[in-house]
A and B are shown apart, each in its own frame.
Chain A
Amino acid sequence: MSKLLLVDDEEGIRKVLSLSLQSDGYDVKTAESGQQALKLFQKEFFPIVMTDIKMPGLDGLEVLKLIKEMNPDTQVIVFTGHGDMESAIQSLQLGASDFITKPVGDQVLAVALKRAEERLETKRLLREYTNNLESMVKDATEEIKRRYEFENKLIQRSIDGIIATDKDGKSLIFNPAAEKIFGYTEDEVKSLNTVKDLYPEGIRQKVFDILSGEKEIAEDDVIVGKDTTVMGKNGKAIPVRFSGAILYEAETPIGSVGFFQDLREIKRLQKELIQSERLAAVGQTVAGLAHGIKNILNGLKGGVYIVNSALKKMSHEEREDANAAVQEFPDGKLKTGWDMVERNISRVSNLVLDLLSYSKEREPEYEKYDPNIIVDEVCDLMESKAKENDVTLIRSLDKEIGEVYLDPKGIHGSLLNLVSNAIDACIFDPDTEKKWQVKVEVHADREGGVIYDVVDNGCGMDQEVKDRIFTEFFSTKGNRGTGLGLLVSQKIIHEHKGTMDVKSEPGKGTRFSIRLPKQEFTEKK
C-alpha cells in the first residue's frame, strides 16, 4: 500500500480527500500546514505528496521546493485555485509532477495519481537499472583487472622474450625473458626513445617504416619463426627465432610486438652434436684403418731401427751409439735431420696409438686382480723418469683391499698416464726450490670400490686449463703431448663405470682421483 501525505489548511478538504484516497487504497497521512508536513516528511518517507498552494505560513510552493530538495524522487501534486496559471507554471518549474485545479474532481485526481505512480515506477526501474549497471561495471572492471593481471603474468612468465612498442617505437612491454636474452633491464629499455635496435636487422626497418607511415601496410606484416640474430647489450649477436607483428586499431598501426625465442642453448647443443658426430665418424674411420696404420707405424719404427743398425756397423763396429756415428758427418746436419725423423716418428706413433685407443669401443676385460699390483707396476715403470727429474715417487698401498674385479690392462694404462702427467707437472714447475714428489695411493672406499689418487706438488693448473683438460687435443706440453692421453684414461675409467676427478691449485700441485665402483663377480662371457 502506497503512502501519501496530504497537506491542506482546510479541514474539510483534508477529510473528504483523505476518505476518497483511502478508498483508492492509499495509506494517507494529513498535515494542516507546510511546517507540519515537512516535520512528518522528515520522520518518514512519502512517495507521493499532495499539497495546496495557498496556505498560511509555508505555502505549497515552498513545501514542494523543500520536499524536492529532501527527496527528488517524491512525486508532488499541487492544488491550485481556478485560473491561477502562474502558480501552476511555477510549481511545474519547481518539479511538481502535476497540478490539479480546485475543486478537485475524482477523475482528475485519479489521472494525476496514476501518472505519479507511473513516474515512481519508472524512477524505481531506473534506479534499479542504475544500481545494476554499477555492479555490472564493477564486475566488469574486476574481470578486466583479473584478465590484465593474468595476461601480464603470461607475459612475465613467458619463456620467449616479448617486446611490445607503441607507434613511435617506445617500449611498452619488455619481459624478464627479453631481459635475459638482451642483457638490458626493463627499466633501461623503457627509458629508451625507441627499441628499434633490439629488433633483428632487416626486420626492424620494415616494422618501423610501417609504424611511422612511411611505408604502406604490407601483406606480409606478420613474421613467423624467422631464425635470425639480435644484438645484445654486450654487443654480441644472439641467435633467436623471431616472430612479430604490427598491431592495428581499425587499420591504423598503433604499435608492434616481437617474440624472441632464445636459440643459444639449441645452437650450443647442435654444435655439440655435430662435434660428437664428427668425432664418432673420425673414430669409426680410424678404427677401420687401425690395422693398416699399425703396420705403417711398425714399418716406420723398423726403418729407424735398420738405419740405426747400419750406422752402427759403418762406424767400425766398436761404436755402440748410432748417434755418435751420425755425428761424424759434416756439419752435424745428418744428426739433426735423423733426430728429427726419429723424434717425429715417435710423436706420430704416440698420437696415432692414443687416437686408436680412444676411438676403439671396448668393454673392460675384468679379472680378479690385486689393485696394489697395478700401483707397483706403474711406479716401477716410472721410477727412472722420476729419478732423472729429481722427483720422489711415493707409493701408498692398502694391503687390506684384496682382489677385486677390474681390467688390469686398462687401469694400468690410465694410472700410468696420470703418474706420467704428475711427473711432467713437476718438470714444468718453475719453482726449483721445491722438493718435488708424486704420491700414488690406492685404497678401498666404503662401498667396496677402489680409489686411486695421484698427487703431485708440481706446477698445478688454473681454472682455464682445468676446464679444458678433458677436451680433445688439448695439451699443455707443446710438441710433447698428443692431447689425448687424459681422454683415453678417462674413457677407460668411464668404461669401468668409474669417475675421474681433478683438484688443482696453480703453484701448489694437482690431485687426480680415479674411483672405480665395486664390480660384481661375474663369469666372463
Chain B
Amino acid sequence: MGKKVLIVDDDADIRTFASSVIENSGYTPEIAVNGEEAIEKIRKEKPDLIILDILMPKESGIKMYREVKTDPKLSDIPVIILSGIAQRTFTRSQKALAEFEGQTVPEPEAYLEKPVEPEELAATLKKFLS
C-alpha cells in the first residue's frame, strides 16, 4: 500500500482529477469535501500529504490550514495548496489572521494555482513523498 494523500476540495471533478494523478504516481488517494470532514480524516487516517483547496463551504482552507499547522501532531504533514486563489491573497489572509490571533504559521510546502498541469502536480507529490 502506497503513501496516503488526502485531497480536500469541494469540486468533485478536481477530486477525481487529483485522485487519478495520485494513483498514477503510485500513491493512495483519500478525499474530503470540506475542512470539517478533512480535519476528522486527518486525525483518523494520518495522511502523508494533504492537497488543499481554499474556497470551500463549511470550513475554508484558510482556517483548516491553520488548524493543521498549529497542531503539533499534524504540523509535520506537508500541505500542497491547490486553489484558484492567487498565492499572495492566501499569504495576505494568513498574515491578517496571524496578527489577529497572535500566532504565525509557516508557509505551505507548495502552492499551486489552478489550473494545474497534471505533470506539475505529480512532480510536486514526488518531491514531498519520496
Binding site for B on A (CB under 8 A): 290-295, 297-303, 305-306, 309, 349, 353, 365
Contacts and interface: CB of A to CB of B under 8 A. Distances in A.
Given A294-B114, A298-B115, A306 B84 contact: no
A299 B13 CA distance: 5
A365 B88 contact: yes
Interface residues of B, number: 19
B26 interface: no
A303 B88 CA distance: 28
Interface string B61-94: 0000000000000000000000011001000000
Nearest to A313: B24
B16 to A, nearest CB: 7
Contacts of B13: 295, 298-299, 302-303
Nearest to A291: B84
B115 A349 contact: yes
B20 A298 contact: no
Interface-central residue, B18, B20, B114, B116, by most chain A CB under 10 Å:
B114
A298 to B, nearest CB: 4
B128 interface: no
Interface in B102-130: 113-118
B55 interface: yes
A396 B106 CA distance: 38
- Residue among A290, A292, A293, A298 having the largest count of chain B Cβ atoms under 10 Å: A298
Contact of B16 (A293, A295, A300, A302): A302
Contacts of B118: 301-302, 305
B84 A299 contact: no
Contacts of A291: 55, 84-85
Contacts of A300: 115
B81 to A, nearest CB: 13
Contacts of B88: 365
Nearest to A301: B115
A293 B88 CA distance: 19
Contacts of B97: none
A298 B113 CA distance: 10
A299 B17 contact: yes
18 contacts: A295-B11, A295-B13, A295-B114, A297-B115, A298-B11, A298-B13, A298-B17, A298-B114, A298-B116, A300-B115, A301-B17, A301-B117, A302-B17, A302-B20, A303-B13, A305-B20, A306-B20, A309-B24
A290 B84 contact: yes
A236 B115 CA distance: 49
B84 A294 contact: yes
Interface string B1-38: 00000000001011011101100100000000000000
A289 to B, nearest CB: 10
B35 to A, nearest CB: 17
A306 B24 CA distance: 10
A302 B19 CA distance: 10
Contact of A294 (B17, B24, B115): B115
Contacts of A303: 13, 17
Interface of B: 11, 13-14, 16-18, 20-21, 24, 55, 84-85, 88, 113-118
Contacts of A294: 84, 113-115
A212 B35 CA distance: 87
Given A290-B84, A365-B88, A305 B21 contact: yes
A515 B58 CA distance: 47
Contacts of B117: 301
Given A293-B84, A298-B84, 15 more contacts: A291-B85, A292-B84, A295-B14, A297-B114, A298-B17, A298-B114, A298-B116, A299-B17, A301-B116, A302-B13, A302-B16, A305-B17, A305-B21, A306-B16, A353-B115
A295 B113 CA distance: 10
A27 to B, nearest CB: 116
A291 B82 CA distance: 12
A294 B84 CA distance: 5
Nearest to B15: A302
Task: Indicate the member of A290, A293, A294, A305 with the most B CB atoms within 10 Å.
Answer: A305
A290 B84 CA distance: 7
B98 to A, nearest CB: 15
Contacts of A301: 17, 115-118
A170 B55 CA distance: 75
Which of A290, A300, A306, A353: most chain B CB closer than 10 A? A306
A313 to B, nearest CB: 10
What 8 A-B pairs have minimum CB-CB distances, sorted nearest first? A302-B17, A294-B84, A299-B13, A297-B115, A298-B115, A291-B84, A294-B114, A298-B114
B116 A309 contact: no
B84 A295 contact: yes
A299 to B, nearest CB: 4
Nearest to A299: B13
Nearest to B88: A365
A313 B84 CA distance: 31
Contacts of B116: 298, 301
A306 B15 CA distance: 12
A309 B20 CA distance: 8
A291 B60 CA distance: 14
A349 B21 CA distance: 20
Nearest to A302: B17
A292 B55 CA distance: 10
Contacts of A295: 11, 13-14, 84, 114
A292 B84 CA distance: 8
A291 B9 CA distance: 13
A438 B118 CA distance: 31
A293 to B, nearest CB: 8
